[in-house]
Amino acid sequence: MNENLSVLGVFALLSVLAVGGGAAVLPETKALVVESHHWLTDDQFRDIYGLGQVVPGPNMLMVIVIGYHVTGYIGALLAFLGFFVPAGLISWGASRVWDHFEGSPWRRSLQRGMAPMVVGLMAAGTISIARTAIDGALTIAIAIAVFAGVYFVKRVNPALLVLGGGLVGLAFLS
């Protein structure tokens, strides 16, 4: 079915665009999945992103759930392969040639120049999720509390804070 090919294509594209990691590619993921292909609503996207937060490993494993929503288990597999294999191959190849540029001053320029762009992309990713996830006093309060916990209290496990946010939501919103 064509929809399977779309899933593979969309996530393979996102894979090679994901410079700077998962948060950096969030706005583009949302644009393609919600706005271009209408595979999910805004709220579903936020919910599925939330699922990615409560499991271990990279948050972007949530692409599996997006694929599942489109064409079931095959979509889940294709989204996983599409999102991880192209970037994985690039990394694999690059790490084999990278050491040849050990002394190149351009290597430093590359790392130095990319750093602020990646921070900008991560900030844009945060904004993209916030637009759907922040919609009132309670969600603002949860976000600020978790921010303070992660930023100022280094010893706390971030996953517990995220789960705590879920419990607060359950207690006050249901």
Q: How much is the CA Rg of the chain, to the nearest whole Å?
A: 18
Query: For tokens 């705590």, what's the residue?
Result: 164
Q: Which of 82, 106, 86 is nearest to 32 (CA)?
A: 82
What is the DSSP secondary structure assignment for residue 155, as one 8-state letter?
T
Site for another protein in 64-83 (CB under 8 A): 64-65, 68-69, 76, 80
Contact call for residue 36 and another protein (CB under 8 A):
no
* Contact predicate 12/83, CB 8 Å: yes
Strand, coil or helix: what is 106? helix
Identify residues 82-111 at the interface with another protein (CB under 8 A).
84, 86-88, 90-92, 94-96, 98-99, 102-103, 105-106, 108-111
| Position 42 contacts another protein (CB under 8 A) | no
The sign of the torsion formed by the CA atoms of 45, 122, 140, 62 equals positive
Q: How far is the CB of 5 from another protein (least distance, A)?
A: 20
CB of 2 to another protein, least distance (A): 21
Binding mask 116-145 for another protein (x = CB under 8 A): xxxxxxxxxxxxxxx-xxx---xxx-xxxx
Q: Which is nearer to another protein, 33 or 165 (CB)?
A: 165
Closest distance to another protein from the beta carbon of 128 (Å): 7
